Structure 1
Amino acid sequence: MSIKREWTTPVTAGAFLILAVTGLFMFFHAAPHLAKETHEWMGWVFLAAAALHLAVNFSAFKTYLAQRKGQVLLGLCALILLVSLMPFGGSGEPPYVAPLRSLGKAPLATLAQVAQISPEQAVERLKKEGLAVQSAQQSLSELVGEDVRKQLRFMRMLMDK
């Protein structure tokens, strides 16, 4: 099977365009609903298209890497990638996890107030979901553990009217 430049180049360019636009929207926190999913999946398309594009143009790529400028630019890109993958500071968690952890440790009465329901309604809803709630002073972390995803599932359930 022969890989054709006539389709690897446009597919690579098209995937890059989609990644660039969705990435900009995500950077400025203005992404429409499907932008993140589109960005993630098109990343795979771009990866495959770029690999095929590189295979088709490998001789030109080798010539480019034989030049000092190509070596410096590729080395710089490799260095940026290496540094970006290092665990410098922070918890490595998305920024919204810390507030969710705090909500998970708050009494159910506080969560009920945020959900605009009564503490009794919050307790009743959680009991219907199978949690052994004793009082509105308990927290979700006490009831379901420290798993933020589990806590979030119950928080969402409390928010649903």
Structure 2
Amino acid sequence: MIQVSREWATPLTIGVFALMAVTGLLMFFHLDSSLQKTVHEWAGWVVVAAAALHVTANWLGFKRYFKPGAGAAAMAVCVLLIGASFVPLGGSGGEPMSPPAIAMRAISQAPLKAVAPLFGKSSEQALKALAGSGIALADENASIGSVTGGDRERMGAALRVLARRQ
């Protein structure tokens, strides 16, 4: 069995935190590449494991943060924020949607004959391109959203197909 040591658990935690911080900031400011998003998502699993190892290696010192005081209060605030993160915001809650969300909703709900020209394509070209990638619309009056069912990954795939040059 591997012994959990502060000698490597703490540096691992620091390193993966730095990786998450940099990629998270890049994503927040929309300066990321697709690789950074993938690295950020997978590094999230590593940070969970590293934090668990760090806590294990430092358990005796960590226990004192559960006693009343600033440490316990900080953890309680974080637990409350986790709970609050499950409260739906936007569209249905009266909060305004972000401009990209508004644009994506408009594009996904518009008939293909209105969307195709945005990509410099005729309706026929767009139908053929989408069908060639496994996204079959009934006709030019159908919307991309009608076949993607609100799945953002499939919607993104459809838009990438439309954006390709011929």
For this structure pair, what is the TM-score category when the shorter chain's length is used for normalisation?
A: 0.7 to 0.9
- RMSD of aligned residue pairs (Cα, Å): 3.0
- Which region of structure 1 is more displaced relative to structure 2, 24-33 or 41-50? 24-33
Tell me if 1:113 matches 2:110: no
- Greater Rg over alpha carbons, structure: 1
2:86 paired residue number? 85
- Change in Cα spacing, 1:85 to 1:146, as seen in structure 2 (3 Å) is closer
**Once the two structures are aligned, what percentage of the paired residues are identical?**
37
CA distance in 2, matches of 1:116, 1:53: 54
Matched ranges for 1:6-155 at <5 A: 6-90=7-91, 95=98, 96-125=100-129, 131=136, 133-134=138-139, 136=140, 138-141=141-144, 144=147, 146-149=149-152, 150=154, 152-155=156-159
Q: Secondary structure at the match of 1:117?
A: coil
CA distance in 1, matches of 2:25, 2:145: 40
- Change in Cα spacing, 1:68 to 1:35, as seen in structure 2 (3 Å) is same
Aligned length: 158
- Which region of structure 1 is more displaced relative to structure 2, 104-113 or 55-64? 104-113
- Change in Cα spacing, 1:122 to 1:42, as seen in structure 2 (3 Å) is closer
When normalised by structure 2's length, the TM-score is: 0.75
Amino acid paired to 2:125: Q
Q: Secondary structure at the match of 1:29?
A: coil
Deviation at 1:140, TM superposition (A): 2.5
Deviation at 1:69, TM superposition (A): 2.4
- Which region of structure 1 is more displaced relative to structure 2, 52-61 or 113-122? 113-122
When normalised by structure 1's length, the TM-score is: 0.77
Deviation at 1:62, TM superposition (A): 1.3
- Change in Cα spacing, 1:111 to 1:15, as seen in structure 2 (3 Å) is same
Amino acid paired to 1:63: R
CA distance in 2, matches of 1:84, 1:50: 21
| CA contact 2:112–2:144 (8 Å) conserved in 1 | no
Deviation at 1:113, TM superposition (A): 1.0
Amino acid paired to 1:51: A
Amino acid paired to 1:105: Q
Q: Which runs of 5+ in 2 are unaligned?
A: none
| CA contact 1:127–1:133 (8 Å) conserved in 2 | no
CA distance in 1, matches of 2:128, 2:105: 22
| CA contact 1:105–1:140 (8 Å) conserved in 2 | yes
Q: Which runs of 5+ in 1 are unaligned?
A: none
